[in-house]
Amino acid sequence: MKKYIIIALIFSLPMLVTGCIDDFLSHDPPVERVQDNFYQTQSDAEQALYAIYETLTFSHGRGNDGFHPIDLVSNILSDDAYAGGSGSGDQPELIDFNAHSISVTNGKALGLWSDRFTGIYRANLLIENINEIEFANQATRDYFEGEARFIRAYHYFNLVRLFGNVPLFTRPLVATDIRVQQADPGEVYEFIAQELVEIIPMMRENIPNAELGRASTWAAKALLGRVYLYHRDYAVPVLGAGPLPVSESEVVGHLEDIVNNSGHALVSDYADLWGTAGNNNNEAIFSVQHITNTFGDWGFLNGSIGNWAAQMGGVRIVGFNPTYARGWSFQPVTPDLVNQFDAAADSRYLVSILDPATEGVSVNAGEMYQWQGFAFKKFHPRTADTPSFNTEFNWPYNRPVFRVADVMLMAAELGSANAQSYFDQVRQRAYGDDFVSIPATRENIMEERRLEFAAEGHRYWDLLRMGLDTAAEKINAQAVAGDISINFRTERLGLLPIPQTEINLSDNTLRQNPGY
């Protein structure tokens, strides 16, 4: 009998101890916070905002294909550069970008898409929760929200330029939100413009020194100018977009406001804009910060904060060179761009273009695919700046997104009263004593933009603003007999394809772009 009691006791033990056991089995993650108790203090808001800024440096997407910084991709899509690399097997998807024969399964297109939506997600999270956070004062709350919305608008602008038809949403999506429809591109432009108009008064005019790199109200104004111009010259004629909630004169007013009141101005020597000494110079209204840091490795490429276009665009130096360091020889420059410079008179030539033969730099041309003899110099890795660890991940060269020169030329294109003066100022800085004034016609401004912004990733978008046929003509002319094939098709409207996997995963709610 005793033994049956014992057995019964043993079997009822589970019920008796279940309560204690639940405690024994419940652990809170020791090293991480949980989403439910985040977004409460200003410090939380700061961390969330920094995570949004981080997405500006993303160049590698989420999955299987990396190495697609937006400026490098824009250069390769244009008539300024070829794809490059070490051979036809090195990043063939970049070669497809250059050839404009981009497949719907191109992993880098998916990466470009994914990186921007990650930024939008994080921004939506903060914006949704910002009312619960206690800020020091209303002004602080305003500019935090302004900066988050600025980056969201900037990501949406890049998305709509690259893909045309993208889904538009202002709340963070959850795992069940897969059937989201694409918005009409006009709607996206309207949204961006509206956002910028609203946040311009919320953002700061002066950024303290310790916070250089944060977006100011001037950055928002500059973005508004760029959006307006692109909308006018491309979205309206090519995509049939409707009007923006802001007039041309208002936009010109904003741009002139930057020139007159922001404190930013043209730097007198073009060479001073680049390299580590040029980081956050006075002409840069907003730059993506690239910094040497110890985070990030080959398993988590987006974890690094270095300038990947620099690593990818450097030439393959043989041996040791005191000035230039080794890179992977992507985005080799086209002779077409080189020939447009007046090498003798234009001080920008030597600053923008690296000609190893002339400068006595020994390179391994045999291992530089599509090499024509020229590389971009502005962001070229330099020996003196070599990071002490994880070299490839950490080149510390900021990428300027808006410069005063750009603001001036945009204002000129938009019919500012000071058009000629702005145009002259930019060219004067370039030519110095050899400066001769030419009329600020649209054609001349476009040519000037190409020379002024070489390597900065604006050319492709400027080409599309000149019209699809012009773009096709100029891009296709870069095909060198036999080896390099390029076929820009106007029916694709200059857009990338919507990644096929995204269409599939949206249960076919998303539609593919025309021509694909």
Partner 1 sequence: MANLKLFTTCLLVLLFAPLMAHAQTVTGTVTDATTNEPLIGVNIILQGTSIGTTTNFDGEYSLNVSDLDGVLVFRYIGFVSQEIPIEGRTEINVQLREDILMSSELVVVAYGLQQRSLVTSAISRIESAEIEQSTPLRVEQALQGRTAGVMVMQNSGQPGSGATVRIRGTGTTGDPEPLYIVDGMPVTGIDFLSPSDISSIEVLKDASATAIYGARGANGVVLVTTKSGRADRTQISYNGSIGFQSPWRQTDLLDAPDYMMIMNESFANDNRTIPFPDIDDRIAEIGSGTNWQDEIFYYNAPLTNHSLSLSGGSENSTYATSMSYRYQDGIVARGKSNYERLTFRLNTDNTTGRLNYGSRVNYSNITSRGIDPNEEFGGIMARATNIDPVTPVRNEDGSFASSPFASQEVVNPVASIDIINSQSQQDKLVGGVFGRFNFTDRVSLRSSFDVDMAFFNNRSFTPIYDLGGNVSNNTTTAFQEQVRFITWQTSHVLNYNDSFGRSNFGAIAGFELLDRRNEFLGGTRADLSMPNFNQAWLSTGLDPDSQTNYGGLGLESLASFFTRVNYSYNEKYMFEGVFRMDGSSKFGPDNRWGYFPAFSAGWVISEEDFMADFGNLSILKIRGGWGQNGSDNIGQFGFTPTITTHAGYGFGADRTVVTGAYPGQIANTNLKWETSEQTSFGIETAFYDYAYYLNLDFYIKDTRGLLLSAPIPQFIGNAAPIVNGGSVRNTGFEIEAGTRIISGDFNYDIALTGTYNKNEVTAINNEEGLLFGAGVSTSMNNVAMAQVGLPIGFFWGYQTGGIFQNQDEINAHVGPDGELLQPNARPGDLIFVDQNGDGIINDQDRVKIGDPYPDFTLGFNFNLGWKSWDLNTFFYGAFGQDIYTGGTRRHDLNMPNWKADVLDRWTPENTNTNHPRVTINDPNGNYARPSDFFIEDGSFVRLRNMTIGYTLPSDLVNRIGASRLRLYASGQNLLTFTGYSGHDPEIGSAGPLNAGIDRNIYPQARTYIFGLNLDF
Residue numbers 340-399 binding partner 1 by CB under 8 A: 364, 366-367, 386, 388-389, 391, 396
Q: For residues 22 and 443, which CB has a smaller minimum distance to partner 1 in the complex?
A: 22
Residue 25, Cα to own-chain centre: how many angstroms? Answer: 46
Buried b (16+ CB within 10 A) or exposed e, 152-162: bbbbbbbbbbb
491 binds partner 1 (CB under 8 A): no
Candidates 291, 350, 479, 480; binder of partner 1 (CB under 8 A) is 291
Structure tokens of 262?
A: 């922001």
Asked if residues 160 and 167 have their Cβ atoms less than 8 Å apart, the reply is: no
Asked if residues 279 and 398 have their Cβ atoms less than 8 Å apart, the reply is: yes
Residues in the chain: 516
Which residue type occupies 390?
A: N
Please, what's the largest Cα pairwise distance for the chain? Answer: 114
**Can you tell me the distance from the alpha carbon of 361 to that of 357, in angstroms, rounded to the nearest whole number?**
6
Candidates 129, 172, 272, 385; binder of partner 1 (CB under 8 A) is 172
Q: Shortest Cβ distance from residue 8 to partner 1 (Å)?
A: 10
Of residues 23-62, which lie at the interface with partner 1 (CB under 8 A)?
A: 24-27, 29-36, 38, 44, 46-54, 56-57, 62
Please count the residues of this chain forming the interface with partner 1, following the rule CB under 8 A: 101
1 binds partner 1 (CB under 8 A): no
Sequence-distant (≥ 6) Cβ neighbours of residue 110 within 8 angstroms: 61, 63, 65, 499, 501, 502
Here's the x/- map for partner 1, 214-253, by CB under 8 A: it reads as x---------------------------------------
**Can you tell me the distance from the alpha carbon of 308 to that of 305, in angstroms, rounded to the nearest whole number?**
9
Distances (CA, A) of 263 to 59, 258, 267, 404: 31, 8, 12, 10
Q: For residues 26 and 137, which CB has a smaller minimum distance to partner 1 in the complex?
A: 26
Of all helices (H) and strands (E), which one includes residue 159? helix 138-163
Q: Which stretch binds partner 1 (CB under 8 A): 142-150, 337-345, 486-494, 505-513?
A: 505-513
Of residues 71-90, which lie at the interface with partner 1 (CB under 8 A)?
A: 86-90
Structure tokens of 289?
A: 């910060």
Q: Shortest Cβ distance from residue 424 to partner 1 (Å)?
A: 31
21 binds partner 1 (CB under 8 A): yes
Q: Shortest Cβ distance from residue 409 to partner 1 (Å)?
A: 27
Distances (CA, A) of 183 to 167, 195, 393, 428: 5, 16, 36, 43
Query: Which of 194, 454, 400, 424 shows the shortest CA–CA distance to 290?
Result: 400
294 binds partner 1 (CB under 8 A): yes
375-376 vs 353-354, strand pairing mode: antiparallel
Candidates 22, 433, 469, 491; binder of partner 1 (CB under 8 A) is 22
Structure tokens of 7?
A: 């057995």
Q: For residues 62 and 347, which CB has a smaller minimum distance to partner 1 in the complex?
A: 62
Q: Shortest Cβ distance from residue 37 to partner 1 (Å)?
A: 9
Q: Which stretch binds partner 1 (CB under 8 A): 6-14, 264-272, 347-355, 429-437?
A: 6-14
322 binds partner 1 (CB under 8 A): no
Residue 150, Cα to own-chain centre: how many angstroms? Answer: 13
211 binds partner 1 (CB under 8 A): yes
**Can you tell me the distance from the alpha carbon of 160 to that of 189, in angstroms, rounded to the nearest whole number?**
8
Here's the x/- map for partner 1, 114-153, by CB under 8 A: it reads as x--xxxxxx-xx----------------------------
Candidates 41, 92, 128, 250; binder of partner 1 (CB under 8 A) is 92
Candidates 280, 340, 347, 428; binder of partner 1 (CB under 8 A) is 280
**3-class state of residue 323 by DSSP:** coil
Q: For residues 27 and 469, which CB has a smaller minimum distance to partner 1 in the complex?
A: 27
Q: For residues 117 and 453, which CB has a smaller minimum distance to partner 1 in the complex?
A: 117
**Can you tell me the distance from the alpha carbon of 200 to that of 411, in angstroms, rounded to the nearest whole number?**
18
Q: Shortest Cβ distance from residue 355 to partner 1 (Å)?
A: 21
Taking the alpha carbons at both ends of the chain, their separation in whole angstroms is 82
Q: Which stretch binds partner 1 (CB under 8 A): 22-30, 136-144, 251-259, 330-338?
A: 22-30
